[in-house]
Structures are given as C-alpha cells and as structure tokens.
Amino acid sequence: MTRSQEIRHETLLQLHGSGRIPIAPAHIVKIARREGFDYTEAEVRDALFFLHGQGLAAKLTDPSTGETRYQITSPGILHFERED
Amino acid sequence: MARHGKIARLQKPHRDQVSHLLQNGASAQTVIEYVAGLVAAGERDADGAPVEPLNDVNVTLWRQGGYEDWLKEQRRLEDMRLRRDAAFEIITANEGAKIQEASLNIAASQLYEVLTEMDLAGLKDKLKEKPELYPEVIRSLAPIAKAALDVEKWKENVRERKAAIERELGVALNKGGITKETREKIERELNLL
C-alpha cells in the first residue's frame, strides 16, 4: 500500500466509524495521530478530495460559518466493507 | 503496514471471514478448509489471481500479523460507534429532536469530537471504581450538547429569516418596488434575528 492509499484507508475508516456524523479534516488528523500516524492535514484533505470525487464521501458546508465537514455515503460504506 | 501473504491477498470479504473465524476460536484447520472451499469454487483473490490453498504457517503468520491489524480496526470502529451513539443520546436528550436532522448531525459532530478526544478507557476505569460519578459526567457533557444545539437552532433561525426576507424582496421586485407593507415584513424578520 502506498502512503496515499494508507491515508485514504484511514480517512475512510474514520468516516465509516463516524456514520452520519460529519467530521472535519482536522479531527481526522488528530485521531490518526493518536493511532501513531503522521499524516498532515494537507494529505488528509487530498484523500477527502479523492473520496468525494469517487462518491464515497459527501461534503457538507455550514452556510453560516463556511466550515467544511465530510460524511460517508452509502457507496462509501459498501466500498469500505467490500474493498478496503 | 502492507501485507502480501496468501490471506492478505484474498478479497476483503473472504479475508474478513478468515478473521471472524479466528475471532470465534476456529482452529487453523477450519481456516484452511474454508479457503480450500474458495479454491474449489474457483474464487479469485483481490489481484484477480486464483486463490491459493493455505497451510498452518500461513494461518499462524496471519494470526500474528493481519489478524491483529483487523482486530485493532474492529475495536476502533466499535469505539467510534459507541462515542457516536453517546453523542446522539446526549444531543437528543436536550430536545435535539426539534431541529432538522442535518443540523442535528452538525450539533452531534461537535460533541462527538469532544467525546473522541476524551480518554474513555481511563474514564471507564474511574467509573468502575466510583459509579456514582456517572451522572456528573453526563451532566458535564450536557452543556456542550446544549451549546451546540443552541448554535444550530440559531443558525436554522437565521436561514429561515433569510429565506423569508428573500421571498418578500422577490415579491416586491415583481410588483415593481418595495411597499410599506413589504418593508414592515422585512423589518419584522430582521427584528427576529
């Protein structure tokens, strides 16, 4: 597995674990660091960009604050369970 | 860590089934027979190559490596699920059911982040020694939940007022200008913010 693939896997795992609760890139980085990974926020954002493009994650923007969070989609759940 | 053994190369559902068998106390022979069934069925691995039969060494190495990784992920997923459920329980206990689900999810996400950062294992140990502290823990989390909900309710209020103002302006433009009545309606909406 390349580093990018590892980061995508960790990101998708956290999205899957969070279910319908949308999570922020900074939160993903914090939790990954606690597990011993050294991913940067830029790398996680790249992974989220990819997952979003593949339809595996949905992007939610709070219209009042502009904050962006991500939530796993149904295809994302299936992908995690079957492929990841 | 990337793994390349025979079990690691299986498609995820088959690989997970091997781990489930081990978790349920299955012997190496059971796992070997399970994979033998995949071979007999002509199943392919994740790379598209035919599944290969296993021996005891393959199972032992998986038990020491890939299976441990799988167990760790299962524990993490279960941990996240518990924290997620706790976040929703606390949020909905504070009248969260009265706001839209999208706002509820956002409010829950703030509490979920707090819960995720807490050392729940340490907290659980302390609560085992002193279970009388449990209500106090919940009470201490309730203000966070309430604050998050209040923010989301305020945001919903802003969104609704904004939509109402835009509707009035739209009507006014169609009629060729803002009437005194329209202006009063907009002022009422603004005063509600």
- A64 in B contact zone (CB under 8 Å): yes
Nearest residue, CB atoms, B80 vs list A18, A60, A84: A18
Distance from CA of B66 to the nearest CA of A (A): 13
- State residue A47's pLDDT score: 98
Helix (H) or strand (E) holding A43: helix A41-53
Put simply, the answer to whether A82 touches B73 (Cβ < 8 Å) is: no
What are the CB-based long-range contacts (under 8 Å, 24+) for B67-72?
Answer: B67/B18, B67/B19, B67/B22, B69/B1, B69/B3, B70/B15, B70/B16, B70/B19, B71/B19, B71/B23
CA-based nearest residue in chain B for residue A12: B77
- Asked if the Cβ–Cβ distance from B155 to A64 is below 8 Å, we say yes
Judged by CB atoms closer than 8 Å, whether chains meet at A17 and B84 is answered as yes
User: pLDDT at position B119, please?
Assistant: 67
Contact A17 B76 (CB under 8 A): yes
B14: closest chain A residue by CA: A82
End-to-end CA distance of chain B: 53
pLDDT classification of A4: cutoffs 50, 70, 90? very high
**B106–A16 C-beta distance less than 8 A:** no
User: What pLDDT, in 10s, does the model give residues A24-80?
Assistant: 999 999 999 999 999 999 999 999 999 999 999 999 987 666 789 999 999 999 999
| Of the partner residues B73, B113, B155, the one whose CB lies closest to the CB of residue A27 | B113
Contact B106 A60 (CB under 8 A): yes
For chain B, residues with pLDDT lower than 70 are 1, 94-100, 102, 119-122, 124, 142, 144, 192-193
Interchain CB distance below 8 Å, A17 and B112: no
User: CA B19, CA A81: separation in Å to the nearest integer?
Assistant: 14
Phi, psi at residue B123, to the nearest 5°?
Answer: -65, -40
Question: Which value does ipTM take for this structure?
Answer: 0.89
> pTM of this prediction?
0.73
Q: Which of A18, A35, A60 is opposite residue B112, by nearest beta carbon?
A: A18
Q: Which of A21, A24, A82 sits opposite B105 (nearest CB)?
A: A21
Q: Are A69 and B107 in contact (CB under 8 A)?
A: no
Tokens for B19, please give them.
Answer: 């781990």
- For residue B113, which residues of chain A lie inside 8 Å, CB to CB? 23-24, 27
Quick one: B175 exposed, middle or buried, by C-beta within 10 A (0-12, 13-18, 19+)?
A: exposed
* Minimal C-alpha gap between B12 and chain A (Å): 6
Question: Which of B145, B140, B144, B184 shows the shortest CA–CA distance to B164?
Answer: B184
Contact B84 A14 (CB under 8 A): no
The predicted pLDDT at position B69 comes to 93
